[in-house]
Structure 1
Amino acid sequence: MTQSLIFAPLIPWPLIWGALAFAIVLLTLAVVRGLSGWGLRAVAAGVVLLALANPALQEEDRAPQSDIVIAVVDDSASQQLADRPDQTARALAALQAEVSALENTELRVARVGDGPEDAGTLAMTALAEALAEEPRARVAGAVIISDGQVHDLALAPDMPAPLHLLLTGEPDDWDRRLIVKNAPAFAILGEEVMLTLRVEDQGDVPANISPMAELTIAVDADEPQTYTVPVGEDLELPVTLPHGGMNVLQFTVATVEGELTDRNNAAVVQINGVRDRLRVLLVSGEPHAGERVWRNLLKSDASVDLVHFTILRPPEKQDGIPVSELSLIAFPTRELFVEKIEEFDLIVFDRYSMRGILPMSYMDNIVQYVRGGGTVLVAAGPEYGAVDSLWRSPLAEILPADPTARVIEGGFQPQLTDLGRRHPVTEGLEDLAPEGGWGRWFRMVDVIPRAGQVVMEGPDNRPLLILNRVDEGRVAILASDHAWLWGRGYEGGGPQLELLRRLAHWMLKEPELEEETLSATVSGQTLTVTRRSIEETPPGDVYITGPDGIENPVPLAEVSPGRHEGVFEAPSVGLYRMEQGDLSRVVAIGPSSPREFIETIASGEPLADTIAATNGGVMRLSDGAPDVRLVRDGRPASGRGWIGITPRGAYVTQDVRVAALLPGWAWLLLVAVFAIAAWLIEGRKGARKLT
């Protein structure tokens, strides 16, 4: 129980202060005039003013509140290294024992793991949340048990009591890590891109550790190559991407005995390979309604460099015009088909026939161009079955279909074959059809396939679109010259642009359009595996090997023709290798080198300023758990082998009683007594003076 004097004035305080000033003036006049009772008058005035202030005696019944100590325990990934988990457990147990031995003191424990999306250790956020749940007047101190690598220092709360760090780890810890300092997200195919790597040692590195490291580099999980590189120096690595689309580069530094962890010895860089320009040679033969559509389609793409070779005046045309009067410029056929043919990414023959314009030797060059990795698309019309057909040139040895010389006239809707529904070039195109299906075509050339894959067909199941691989190159035949009707929107049209885009990208060997692919998408720690195959037999399980070396089978289910998917929940972040048969892929879940493993050496430096501002201290647990002592507010709260907390003396008021200091009649009686006494004294002195 505590007592205190309080005032509840009967009139506003300004009036009381005014009355006091008036009383002082009157008393001053009484003193000046020599009135002998001025002292009693002063007491009477004081009693009146005190009565107006209405003093009262307040009694409180208080229940003392315990002091609270907050312990933030770091359970992040870097805290799982070496013997840090045991150090943390022992330190927490010792802290609980010390706090429980203190009178009227409680311990609150908050645990913090890895932050979302590789945010690191959010110890300050956890401390702020723990403080928000407790009355600040009861917080006597806070302790963080961690390796000191905290990544949200800017969010450190304003502490009402000392903050301490119990530092895990050993003074002689050391670690080797791989840093990718510079890696672009995109690169142009055929051009070198420069990556900057660095192998770095941290901590107390033993003298017998070599200053050289073994660096292994693998591209798309292919055969790795190993190099010996210096430690502590930036390494400039020139890289030329092998293909378009996503290229996965994996870098690994050999583990050295004694280093703290190998989780930061590897890094994965994903670079999207893009073509600077798609160089297309369009060779047009007999003019027809679709010729302009082909040209406009290719010219509409800003990334396409188009060279259009067209025959406007065939040799058999005899119109009597002298050659010297023709305004046409001679086309550089030798330059295109001999000297610079390798520079083209795609050659398109649109209704072209052999009319003596291009020599047979040029056709031989095109055959060698395809076998070496080039691509040819033949959009065939009636000329493909004629005597001057491309099939009757050296190009025939790489063409996948032989003409029968029959031209089929009449409306028909192109259809996908069973293989076409699974093939990445045509898979899903039926979903892009307008209501009622694709628009009709009205002519196609009858061909007999002798190689390749038939993905589209016309009337009576005759081959319409045939794809084929020839050595390193690719060839496709579209056995109709009416694809332009889709582009014009006839009877609703069809996906001409999407079909030709996919066809061009397949011929250019874009990885996402390969027939047999293994890929994955990552969302958080969920890995969705996609296996694309044109085989009728469903693929088997995909085997995923994680950073821990454990192999996990993932069953696949068909989600659409030719596409199978499976889901794998990764137990931790890191690099995962997927394998099925001859296919393999490396994918990173989370960053390849998580933020938790960028700095793995325990250090109190990051928290030093925050702790010093609260008079707290940093204690290494390798020296043993510290004692807990009570210190006064504002005094140093740490020393050799001990940390301090500040008692808060908080309480809760359970009952309040207020009683007037004197009743009203007692105040009146006091005023009357002093006023009458002053009057009597002054009256007697005045009577004696008159006598």
Structure 2
Amino acid sequence: MTRQIIFDPMLPLWLIAALAGVALAVCVLAAVRGLPGWWLRALAVGTVALALLDPSLQTEDREPLSDILLIAVDESASQGLSDRRDQTEAALADLLEEAAGDGLDTRVTRVADGDGDEGTLMMGALGELLAEVPRDRVAGAVIISDGQVHDAAQLPELPAPLHLLRTGRDGDWDRRLIVSNAPSFAILDEEFTITLRIEDQGDVPADAGTEADIVLAIDGGQPRAYRMPVGEDIQLPVILPHGGLNVIEFSVPEAEGELTDRNNAAVIQINGVRDRLRVLLVSGEPHPGQRTWRNLLKADSAVDLVHFTILRPPGKQDGVPVTELSLIAFPTRELFSEKIDEFDLIIFDRYQRRGILPSVYLDNVRSYVEQGGALLVAAGPDFASADSIFRSPLAPILPAAPTAIVLNEGFLPTVSETGQKHPVTEGLPTGFGLDGAPWGRWFRQVQVEALPDAETVMTGVNDEPLLILDRVKAGRVALLGSDHVWLWDRGFEGGGPQAELLRRLAHWLMQEPELEEEALTAAALGQEITVTRRTLGDAPGAVTVTAPDGTESQLELTMQAPGRFVGRIIGAEQGLYRMTEGERTAVIGLGPAAPREFVETIATDTILAPAIDARQGGAIALQDGSPNLRSVREGRRAAGRGWIGWTPRNAYLTADVRILSLVPAWLFLLLAAGLATWAWLREGRS
């Protein structure tokens, strides 16, 4: 219970002061003139002024409120190193016990890793905790952490001391791998460099060494080791093995005694792109579809097209002197002997044997394909003739044999059952044709017999093979059994997806990874990993997912489309995930090359020092034991050897308020009248 005198003026204070001033002046004048009752008049004026101020006695019944101690506990990934979690829990238990002994109320928040790669957002969590309690009851704030806080500059306006109870030990040291410079894409078959650095931090032992091995692996393949000095930037040369996404993992063997090996590895993802696509197109004779091929290939500025059309076969007898011909001689030796390996794709468009290309050059084409090249044969009536290129050294690599029959009738190209699963023809856009047909008709097809191992992805007349694909050792071959694909380009009967089909076909031939028919791939969006298994066979089994910490889990796949099976998993931590299904493997990097929580792992006071000093707090190393808790007057230093302080706030809750006038109004009136009368009588006698 507390009591205090309060005033509730009946008139504005300035008016009471003005009236009292006038009355006081009159009393002073009376005193100057020697009137004996002047002092009685002054007392009467004071009594009236006091009455106008209305003095009262206020009595409050107060209930004291406990002071609040805010505690923020760091549970980020770096706190899992060494025995930091044990130190944290022991310190928290001791702190709660000390706070209870001092009558403090506690509010505890546990801070995990921020979303994405934001790190430890301790100040944000402390600000949220502060917003949930009355500020006038906050007596202090304590952070239990290794000091690696990533939002230290965003300290909230704390009305009390701030302290750090630091985990970790003085002898801690760590070795980490830093990828300081890596491109997002690179040209295939061209060397580029990645800047790496091995860095030691903390109390590094003398036997840690000044060199270490760096192991490089691309897409989980055969690792390669390089010897590198510690503490220096090194330019490491790399050549990407394939187009599309390449996942490159660098790792450094764990050194004895270091805190963790989680920052001994870095994962980067680089897209492999072709600088230029060199395509050799050989047209056996002029025909309406020739411009279709040329327009398609020239539309892409990244394609270097070498196109030859045989306008005048050597055996043609028309009587024109050779000296008057303006045609360019076919550079057979240069193209098919010296520079054949420079082409990414060779296309024979309605080509037939006319003695222009000797058998030895066609044999070079066969060897080119077997060593990893790509060959596309767009067949017309020439393929069914006696001069067909099937009757040449190319026969062993062609996916189908002609029957010498040409089917001249209208038909709708149809995607086969296998083609519905194959990436070349899967999901080709429809809606081009007229009268409800998906595509427009073609009118000529060469009848062929596909080889048993070849894949027929499109059919034509009477389900005869139309587009056949095959793998020949390291290379690939495709046979299109019609020369009427140009009808789609011209929009006949609505046309069809000619450009998309031929684009996919060319990319499959050139072994682009996204068009592999038997593949296991993974893609990441945020923390979600999507695993896709493509196959032309039966449904695959479960995928084994290996997390960065080595734990394994099974992921069941569901069919999304014919030949495409998909599964999704949420990655609980950042790093390299490995997927395995049978003999197929895939890797994907989740998060940045170096997770922020493991960039700096040595416990420190430095980051939070400015915030702690600004709040008169202190930093205590928990390796020396938990500190005691003391109350400290506001404005004084709130930390010392083995102790931290809190500031009493003396907050209370008012339960009841009673107000009683000190003197009744009638008594004021009686006193003022009595004093005025006494002054009048005294002056009258005089």
Give the TM-score taking structure 1 as reference length: 0.93
Q: Sort the Cα spacing of 1:28 and 1:313 in 2 relative to 1 into closer, same or farther, 3 A.
A: farther
What do the CA deviations read for 1:199-236 (whole angstroms, capped 9, x no partner)? 11111111122222122111111111122222111121
In the alignment, what sits opposite 2:480? 478
**Counterpart contact for 1:432–1:495, Cα < 8 Å:** no
Work out the CA distance in 1 between the residues paired with 2:661 and 2:407: 117
Report the equivalent of 2:95.
Answer: 95
Counterpart in the other structure of 1:86: 86
Deviation at 1:313, TM superposition (A): 4.4
Determine helix, strand or coil for the equivalent of 1:352: coil
- 3-state DSSP class of the match of 1:419? coil
- Assess, with a 3 A threshold, how the Cα gap between structure 1 residues 432 and 23 changes in structure 2: closer, same or farther: farther
In structure 2, what is the equivalent of residue 447 of structure 1?
Answer: 448
The 5 Å alignment of 1:592-631 reads 593-631=594-632
Q: Which moved more, 1:441-450 or 1:422-431?
A: 422-431
Aligned partners of 2:443 and 2:54: how far apart in 1?
A: 110
Q: CA deviation at 1:376?
A: 1.6
Conserved? CA contact 2:179–2:593, under 8 Å: no
**Counterpart-to-counterpart distance in 2, 1:375 and 1:605:** 61
**Residue 542 in structure 1 maps to residue 543 in structure 2:** yes
Change (3 A) 1:670 1:356: farther
2: CA distance, partners of 1:660 / 1:331: 122
The alpha-carbon deviation at position 669 of structure 1 amounts to 2.0
* Partners of 1:489 and 1:57 in 2: CA distance: 100
Give 1:405 deviation, angstroms: 2.1
**CA drift at 1:393:** 3.5
Which residue number in structure 1 is paired with residue 505 of structure 2?
503
Matched, 1:18 2:18: yes
Q: Residues 668 and 374 (structure 1 numbering): CA distance in 2 closer, same or farther, change over 3 Å? A: same
Sort the Cα spacing of 1:31 and 1:312 in 2 relative to 1 into closer, same or farther, 3 A.
farther
Q: Which structure 2 residues correspond to residues 443-592 of structure 1 after superposition, within 5 A?
A: 443-450=444-451, 452-535=454-537, 537-591=538-592
Farther-moved stretch of structure 1 (472-481 vs 671-680): 671-680
Tell me the CA shift for residue 146 of structure 1. Answer: 0.9
> Which amino acid is the alignment partner of residue 440 of structure 1?
R
Q: Residue 248 of structure 2 aligns with which residue?
A: 249
C-alpha distance in structure 2 between counterparts of 1:550 and 1:110, whole Å: 29
> In the aligned structure 1, how far is the partner of 2:357 from the partner of 2:22?
124
1:660 aligns with 2:661: yes
Q: Could you tell which deviates more after superposition, 489-498 or 436-445?
A: 489-498
Matched residue type, 1:576: Y
Structure 1 match to 2:339: 340
Residue number in structure 1 paired with 2:213: 214
Mark the CA change 1:490 to 1:679 in structure 2 (over 3 Å): closer, same or farther: farther
Quote the residue 2:56 is aligned against.
Answer: 56
Change (3 A) 1:37 1:351: farther
1:99 CA drift (Å): 0.9
What displacement does 1:332 show?
Answer: 4.9
CA contact (8 A) 1:162 1:615 kept: yes
Aligned amino acid, residue 241 of structure 2:
P
Deviates more, 1:357-366 or 1:612-621: 357-366
Structure 2 letter corresponding to 1:538: A
For residues 393-404 of structure 1, the aligned pairs below 5 Å read 393-404=392-403
State whether residues 141 and 163 of structure 2, in contact with CA within 8 Å, keep that contact through their aligned partners in structure 1.
yes
Contact 1:125/1:155, CA 8 A, preserved across alignment: yes
Deviation of the 1:33 alpha carbon: 4.4
Output the amino acid matched with 1:566.
Answer: G
1:486-514 CA-partner distances (Å, limit 9, x unpaired): 22333332222221121111111111211
Tell me the residue number matched to 1:386: 385
Q: Partner letter of residue 173 of structure 1?
A: D
1:67 partner amino acid: D
Distance 1:673 1:400, change over 3 A: same
CA contact (8 A) 1:526 1:568 kept: yes
Q: TM-score, normalised by structure 2?
A: 0.94
Q: How does 1:168-247 map to 2 (within 5 A)?
A: 168-247=167-246
- C-alpha distance in structure 1 between counterparts of 2:681 and 2:325, whole Å: 146
Q: Deviations over 1:440-491 (max 9, x none)?
A: 1111111122352211111122111111222222111111111122223333
Describe the SS at the equivalent of 2:46.
helix
- Name the % identity: 60
In the alignment, is the contact (CA less than 8 A) between 1:278 and 1:305 conserved in 2?
Answer: yes
What is the letter of the counterpart of residue 480 of structure 2? L
CA 1:28/1:302 → structure 2, altered by over 3 Å: closer, same or farther?
farther
Question: 2:9 maps to what in 1?
Answer: 9
1: CA distance, partners of 2:27 / 2:406: 133
Deviations 1:631-668 (A, max 9, x none): 00010111111110001000011112222332222222
Asked if the contact 1:575/1:592 (under 8 Å) is kept, the reply is no
Task: Give the aligned partner of residue 679 of structure 1.
Answer: 680
The alpha carbon displacement at 1:28 in A equals: 4.8
* Matches of 1:327 and 1:46, distance apart in 2: 129
| Offset at residue 133 of structure 1 (A) | 0.8
- Aligned mates of 1:518, 1:105 — CA distance in 2: 58
**What is the Cα deviation at residue 9 of structure 1?**
2.2
**Alpha carbon RMSD of aligned pairs, Å?**
2.3
Tell me if structure 1 keeps the 8 A contact 2:431–2:438.
Answer: no
> Does the aligned pair in 1 maintain the 2:431–2:437 contact within 8 Å?
no
Q: Distance in 2 between matches of 1:345 and 1:16?
A: 103
Deviates more, 1:196-205 or 1:589-598: 589-598
Q: What is the rounded CA distance, in whole Å, between the counterparts of 1:87 and 1:504 in structure 2?
A: 61
Taking a change above 3 Å as real, the CA distance of residues 327 and 5 of structure 1, as seen in their structure-2 partners, is farther
Match for 2:475: what amino acid? G
Q: CA deviation at 1:625?
A: 0.6
Show the counterpart of 2:404: 405
1:33/1:378 CA distance change after superposition, 3 Å: farther
Q: Distance between the aligned counterparts of 2:25 and 2:280, measured in 1?
A: 113
Aligned residue pairs, count: 683
Three-state SS of the structure 1 residue aligned to 2:208 is coil
How far, CA to CA, are the matches of 2:53 and 2:312 in structure 1? Answer: 119
* Higher deviation after alignment, 496-505 or 604-613: 496-505
Q: Give 1:669's aligned residue.
A: 670
> What's the counterpart of residue 40 of structure 1?
40
Change in 2 beyond 3 A, CA 1:680/1:488: farther
The separation in 2 between residues aligned to 1:287 and 1:684, in whole angstroms, is 148
Distance in 2 between residues matched to 1:6 and 1:210, nearest whole Å: 78
What 5-or-longer segments of structure 1 have no aligned partner? 686-691
SS in structure 1 at match of 2:308: strand
Asked whether the equivalents of residues 263 and 593 of structure 1 are also in contact (C-alpha less than 8 Å), the reply is: no
| 1:27–1:470 Cα change, 3 Å | same
Q: Write the letter of the residue equivalent to 2:63.
A: A
The match for 2:72 is: 72
Is residue 163–residue 612 contact of structure 2 (8 Å, CA) maintained in 1? yes
Partner residue of 1:641? 642
